[in-house]
Each structure stands twice: as structure tokens, then as C-alpha cells.
């Protein structure tokens, strides 16, 4: 625990301005804002910052030094894994197109319309998967622990 360099009076003044703005905004909705605070200091949190090299590329990670939890990291994606993801994206798009064609045929519509609808419906997922397949590095970010 360390006393910060920021003057507590300055911090309270800035916080007071924010609270006044929040109160003015909340008044429009006839809502009361109640705020109480106290200044104690800053607690430092130990984090290990790691950097490693693999296949000629640099990757980074941040690890919680208290319990070893990975906070965020970058990692290499293999060619095989990226090819599998690209194949999955193509399969998802073609499967959606086929399902759309069958549904249109069942409903008495032209199968081409169903195919087009299936392709349009799967475009977002297919593009997301294709972008991931094109990337050379993966990224992980831990969910917040409360």
C-alpha cells in the first residue's frame, strides 16, 4: 500500500464535478443520485509481464502473480488449425445454403432464393471464422473476476 502522488483534494474536486453532472442528468428522469466516498490510497497488484519468441515472431502474456491466472495472452496459430477453421467456415456457409434451399423447396419457393437466404444468414459467422483463420496469432483475455 502506497500513498499516491495525486493530491486527495484535487481527486475529490474532480469527482465532485462528475457527481454534479450525474445528478443533473438523473434529475431529468426524476432519479436521486447518492454518492459517498473516501480516499485511502492505491493498492498495487502484482502482474508478471511475459514475452516469448516462437517461429521468429514475438508473443506476449500477462499473468496474475498472486495465483498464476492468465489475464491475457497471444499465442501462435498453426497452419493446420487455421486450415481447419477455414474449412469449418466454408462448411457452415454451404450447410446454411443447403438448409435454406431445402426449406425453400419444402415451402414451395424457388430453391435459389433459399440458397441465397442461407448464404446471407451465415455470412457473419463465416466472415468471423475466415478472419480468425487468416490470423497468425490468437488472443485470449480472461473474464473479470469479482
Give domain limits for the chain: 1-44, 46-76, 77-135
Count CB atoms within 10 A of the CB of residue 48. Answer: 12
Dig out the grid coordinates for 34 from the structure: 447518492
State whether the Cα torsion 98-101-104-108 is positive or negative.
Answer: negative
How far lies 57's CA from each of 52, 75, 107, 131, 137, in Å? 8, 10, 53, 19, 9
54 vs 49: CA distance, rounded Å: 17
Count CB atoms within 10 A of the CB of residue 70. Answer: 14
Q: Is the pTM of this model over 0.85?
A: no
Note the pLDDT of residue 106: 93
DSSP state of 67: T
Do residues 137 and 76 lie in contact, with contact meaning Cβ atoms separated by under 8 Å?
Answer: yes
Full pLDDT tens readout for the chain, 146 residues: 455 666 767 777 777 788 888 888 788 877 777 777 776 766 678 899 999 888 888 899 999 888 888 999 998 888 888 888 888 888 989 999 999 999 999 999 999 999 999 999 988 888 888 887 787 788 888 886 64
Amino acid at each position: 500500500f502506497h500513498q499516491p502522488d495525486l493530491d486527495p483534494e484535487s481527486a475529490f474536486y474532480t469527482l465532485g464535478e462528475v457527481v454534479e453532472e450525474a445528478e443533473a442528468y438523473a434529475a431529468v428522469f426524476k432519479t436521486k443520485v447518492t454518492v459517498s466516498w473516501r480516499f485511502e490510497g492505491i493498492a498495487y497488484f502484482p502482474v508478471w509481464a511475459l514475452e516469448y519468441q516462437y517461429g521468429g515472431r514475438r508473443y506476449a502474456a500477462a499473468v496474475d502473480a498472486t495465483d498464476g491466472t492468465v489475464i491475457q495472452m497471444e499465442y501462435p496459430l498453426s497452419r493446420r488449425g487455421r486450415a481447419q477453421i477455414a474449412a469449418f467456415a466454408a462448411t457452415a456457409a454451404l450447410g446454411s445454403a443447403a438448409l435454406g434451399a431445402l426449406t425453400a423447396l419444402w415451402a414451395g419457393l424457388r430453391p435459389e432464393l433459399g440458397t441465397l437466404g442461407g448464404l446471407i444468414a451465415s455470412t457473419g459467422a463465416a466472415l468471423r471464422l475466415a478472419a480468425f483463420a487468416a490470423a497468425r496469432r490468437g488472443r485470449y483475455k480472461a473474464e473479470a473476476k469479482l
